[in-house]
Amino acid sequence: MARLLVRVNNLDFILCGHNIKSFDLPYLGKRMLINGINPPSLLPSHDTKPWEIKALDTKEMWNFGSFKGLSSLHLVCTLLGVDSPKLGEVKGSNIHKSFYTDNNIKEITEYCERDVDSLIEIVSKVKNL
């Protein structure tokens, strides 16, 4: 993962996700530290200014600067007429069970792919308004 993030940074790409700044990026950074991996500079650190974070967070985009209110990915998809990735058997809330108990890698993969497709559609829809 660290090598992929270095590559993304070197290509001057940005990351995109729903709640990526408050969940995914901190989670990846912490897991890398726990596993003795130096987090790449693409991940925000204690001295990264908010405008320097190379990530588009669709939750922030939807909230228009507010930290209150409902803004789940499922809700945003529903309101914008985008297929929600949360309608399948696997959801974020049961990934642990799907992986460790059910060994349902295929469903997890499909869930993640639906998540990416939904993000692309949301960003495209807002950009083309």
Task: Give dist(CA 87, CA 121) in Å, integer.
Answer: 16
Q: What is the pLDDT of residue 97?
A: 92
Task: Tokens 């998809």: give the residue.
Answer: 77
Q: What is the pLDDT of residue 69?
A: 77
Q: CA gyration radius for the chain?
A: 16
- For each of the chain's 129 residues, which pLDDT tens digit applies? 889 999 888 999 999 999 999 999 999 999 999 999 999 999 998 899 988 999 999 999 999 988 887 899 999 999 999 999 888 788 888 888 999 999 999 999 999 999 999 999 999 999 998
Tokens of 110: 């499909």
Q: What is the pLDDT of residue 92?
A: 80
Q: Where are the domains of the chain?
A: 1-66, 72-129
